[in-house]
Chains A and B, each alone.
Chain A
Amino acid sequence: MATPTDSTAAAGAKPFDIVATYNELLRSDPDLTMPIAAIEALVLLLTHEPSSTISETLDLLAKSTAHLKKAIPNPIGLSAGTDLFQRYLITTLQRPGQLGPAGDFKAIRTHLLSNGRLFIRRAKESREKIVAFGRGFIRDGCTVLTNGGSRAVASLLQQAADEEGGPSAVRFKVIYVLSSISKDIEGPSGEPEGMETVRALRAKGVPVSTIPESAVAYALGKADMVIVGAEGVVENGGIVSRMGTYQIGLLAKAIGKPFYVVAESHKFVRLYPLGQYDLPIEQHVVDFKTEEDIAQKSKQQAVDSNADSPVELPLEDSVDFTPPHLISALITDSGVLTPSAVSEELIKIWF
């Protein structure tokens, strides 16, 4: 069994590097989310790979997915995309009809690929739907507290701001929590995540105040609601999101402010974390050290810098888990859901 699988993997890896494609897709399009990039990478893979049977296709898909998940330090977001695509493929292949197992596989394949693209387009459109659902939450005169660099939140706020001057003028203020962890070394001038949104909002005339994470409790009294983005929405309705979201959620609960999450429904992940330390991610946020340890580590790094240690999430990319009881509602493209409704949606997709 080892030889054929190895050869497929090798064949898949050499002419088409799924990891590189995925990273390239994410870099080229700033609007692309991780699950969508994963799906697009998989579609590209299928177009490149001449697979002739269903099981071969599924096998290739499973292998590339596993490979991709292993190579990316935080696979939660992308696994939502790959799982969804795999599920979609399987249901399409199993569905009886002109494209059923008896049909011409080439036809099935082209059908799949064209549908895969459709899938991507639809997923990209979902952000507009979210804006339509979420617009009502931002009322005249309210103050929104948000954090991170979520594109969904940014587009929601910008759309709301665009209406200013129009028939439904919404005047609102934004308190933007900026991460204190220095971020994005290769990014422009190393400014914190979210500065771009801050600038865009200010350009539209929305008063924005930026605060450090340490001022959240202090500033929450002035906010009417909290709106955050998510990297993944898990089965119990909680979210996996940028480090610091959990504490905002806890504070919002304690102070009694509603805590809304904006997320596309393709970010729903089949994952059920029981707590902060139950995520399938290797991250060392809490890292105990003594002077001796630091000295030893620097020495060790000098010796074997090229050893392949397990991919670790850098501190600035670390995530935390916000449990469902802190979330008031999730604004998604399939409607505004309570956390418990998320599992219902997920069950609908998966069974």
Chain B
Amino acid sequence: MTEPVDSAPTASAQDNAPAQPPSQPATENPPSQQNLPIRDAKTAKDKGPAQSDKQPAKGKDAPAPAAGTESGAAAGGDKPLTPAELKKKAKADKAARRAKEKIERDGGAGAAGGPASGAGQARPPATPRKDVAPGGAAQKGPKAPLLRRGSHGGGSAAVEQKKKKEDKSVAVFGHLYGQQRRTTVAGAGKEVHAAVLALGLQLRDYVVCGSSARCVATMLAFKRVVESYTTPLGTSLPRHLTTHLSHQITYLSTCRPLSISQGNAIRALKLAIADIDPSTPESAAKNTLCEFIDSFIREKITVADQVIAESAAQKIQDGDVIVTFAGSSIVKQTLLQAHHDGKQFRVSIIDSRPLFEGKNLARALANAGLDVQYSLVHGISHAIKDATKVFLGAHAMTSNGRLYSRVGTALVAMSAKERAGGVEVPVIVCCETVKFTDRVALDSIVVNEIADADELVSANAAQQVTGLPDPAAFTAPPIDPKKPKGGKSASSAPTPDPVSSERVPSPSPLASWKDTHNLQLLNLMYDATPAEYVDMVITELGSLPPSAVPIVHRMSTNM
């Protein structure tokens, strides 16, 4: 496959690169090609043709890391480098560094020493080859990673590990596995404000969770950013602040993908920044922006929530049984408002693993004096049996009227609409217009968010009362710092008492899922509920059918 590519540099290299002994036995070539790992083959494809096209005359420079440094060193030994060559060498070094970083990311610690040691060890076998080969084929960029790879002993382990990891992503959702979520603030740019750093980790750990809460928290953090911002010399605030903000935004999005509401808020803020006249004094401009942020939060979230809660509460009548899913803040506000209005109704909360957001809602409503029933999503058919209305929160509403919300919402809506042998139950969505998007969702596959699959593993085991010495039945929760907040707040699940804890806690059966063959865990965050399952969307602008979402979105963004 690399054969046709080889020919061009071979000819040119002979002219321009005397430093490299132009020799490689033809017999050696095929095995080395077989050695090409998949990823390197890709680089070969990318870089090989480009190089052969563009730089036939200067074929000696190697864009790939190891060969680049090596050839540079070799060249340096023979004759002084021209500035252009130095530049190229620097470039190659950079590429090497990048490749190394990439390997560290991809292959884990096993491959850490890869490039350096690999290049060193690669020398002896490579040199004789070059002596015999009828061209500088070894110089070719694509070959360099091959050398690195083939040599180091830990390499195979790294590859194995990598392969295993790839297996663990569910194929249909492969496009959603982006980079790993950031786990520390290390490596964040120096431009990132402390408030944003903290917020990023809070978002990651679901301390700040829920579309509205994330939006508000982001805006407040950005207010801090704006407050502490000083325009550098030689630029103007409207021009520079946007780029400064985008550093913060990039950091936030590496912690957890941004929500639709965050995106809308950021877009509004950027528009507000762009609207500022460059001649405005900095303090005045910053005041304007802070006021903008405050009024954005007030208008789009705080007051909007009140309006929605009031109008949604009017839809609740005496004797209703309200079913809701997970823990939406706006639904909570609605139910509390209705209770405050003196309505007599019951609430049935349906919750799901692994976030258990409904537990907080259940507690809050029960504390307020409401009649609350709590069940998990597998009890849906039972819970929906005597429901009269379904209230749902939203992560976003798409332009085709679909509701994009916590995974499981679609199931609840469908159960309500297709209830066997009963009148269908109205499904009401409470959603601020800031969560409307002009995107279209046809399913939950194309656009979604995948959370750490380990969240599914760590679950509190049921308390064992009988004390049977069965280690399989007793599974103490592994102490997992990554455990979501919802799980921790599960105060209802009692902590293991000292007597039982002296038994050896056996981990959850899923704990070793990464080492189990043919086992993949999928932890999706959202799903899309078809518009037919939604009867009504209550926004701060009024009640709408889901088909009116794009119109309202257009109007609310144009204003």
- Check A236–B555 contact: CB distance below 8 A: no
- Check B542–A270 contact: CB distance below 8 A: yes
With A and B bound together, what is the CA distance between A272 and B544 in angstroms? Answer: 8
> Contacts A235-B543, A351-B541 hold; do A272 and B536 have CB atoms under 8 A apart?
yes
- Check B535–A343 contact: CB distance below 8 A: no
- Check B426–A340 contact: CB distance below 8 A: no
- Residue B551 interfacial (CB < 8 Å): yes
Chain B 13-39: CB-based contact to A (< 8 A → 1; otherwise 0):
000000000000000000000000000
With A and B bound together, what is the CA distance between A344 and B548 in angstroms? Answer: 6
> Contacts A236-B536, A274-B315 hold; do A340 and B543 have CB atoms under 8 A apart?
no
Residues of A134-152 contacting chain B, CB below 8 A: none
With A and B bound together, what is the CA distance between A351 and B552 in angstroms? Answer: 9
- Chain A min CB distance to B379 (Å): 25
With A and B bound together, what is the CA distance between A278 and B541 in angstroms? Answer: 21
Residues of A259-281 contacting chain B, CB below 8 A: 270, 272, 274-275, 278
Residues of A317-344 contacting chain B, CB below 8 A: 324, 340, 343-344
- Residue B352 interfacial (CB < 8 Å): no
- Residue B236 interfacial (CB < 8 Å): no
- Chain B min CB distance to A324 (Å): 7
Complex: chain A residue closest to B389, CB-CB: A274
Given contacts A237-B545, A274-B389, 18 further A-B contacts (CB under 8 A): A235-B543, A235-B544, A274-B426, A274-B535, A275-B423, A278-B315, A324-B545, A340-B545, A343-B544, A343-B545, A343-B548, A343-B551, A344-B548, A347-B541, A347-B548, A347-B551, A347-B555, A350-B542
- Residue B375 interfacial (CB < 8 Å): no
In the bound complex, residues from chain A placing their C-beta under 8 Å from that of B12 are none
Which size class do B's interface residues fall under?
A: 10 to 19
In the bound complex, residues from chain A placing their C-beta under 8 Å from that of B542 are 235, 270, 347, 350
With A and B bound together, what is the CA distance between A347 and B551 in angstroms? Answer: 8
- Check A275–B547 contact: CB distance below 8 A: no
> Contacts A235-B544, A236-B545, A272-B543 hold; do A347 and B536 have CB atoms under 8 A apart?
no
Our pick among B389, B428, B536, B548 for the contact of A340 (Cβ within 8 Å) is: B548
- Chain B min CB distance to A56 (Å): 27
In the bound complex, residues from chain A placing their C-beta under 8 Å from that of B544 are 235, 343, 347
- Check A340–B547 contact: CB distance below 8 A: yes
- What are 11 residue pairs bridging A and B, where the CB atoms are less than 8 Å apart in the complex? A235-B543, A236-B536, A237-B545, A270-B542, A275-B423, A324-B545, A340-B547, A340-B548, A347-B544, A347-B548, A347-B551
- Chain A min CB distance to B389 (Å): 8
With A and B bound together, what is the CA distance between A274 and B389 in angstroms? Answer: 10
- Chain B min CB distance to A236 (Å): 4
- Chain A min CB distance to B314 (Å): 10
In the bound complex, residues from chain A placing their C-beta under 8 Å from that of B543 are 235, 272
- Check A235–B545 contact: CB distance below 8 A: yes
> Contacts A270-B542, A274-B426 hold; do A347 and B552 have CB atoms under 8 A apart?
yes
> Contacts A235-B543, A237-B545, A324-B545 hold; do A344 and B535 have CB atoms under 8 A apart?
no
In the bound complex, residues from chain B placing their C-beta under 8 Å from that of A275 are 423, 426
In the bound complex, residues from chain A placing their C-beta under 8 Å from that of B552 are 347
With A and B bound together, what is the CA distance between A275 and B555 in angstroms? Answer: 28
Chain B 158-170: CB-based contact to A (< 8 A → 1; otherwise 0):
0000000000000
Complex: chain B residue closest to A237, CB-CB: B545
In the bound complex, residues from chain A placing their C-beta under 8 Å from that of B548 are 340, 343-344, 347
With A and B bound together, what is the CA distance between A347 and B541 in angstroms? Answer: 9
In the bound complex, residues from chain A placing their C-beta under 8 Å from that of B541 are 347, 351
In the bound complex, residues from chain A placing their C-beta under 8 Å from that of B423 are 275
In the bound complex, residues from chain A placing their C-beta under 8 Å from that of B428 are 274
B428, B543, B545 — most chain A CB neighbours (10 Å): B545
Chain B 527-544: CB-based contact to A (< 8 A → 1; otherwise 0):
000000001100001111
Residues of A193-241 contacting chain B, CB below 8 A: 235-237
Complex: chain A residue closest to B546, CB-CB: A340
Residues of B409-434 contacting chain A, CB below 8 A: 423, 426, 428
Complex: chain B residue closest to A276, CB-CB: B423
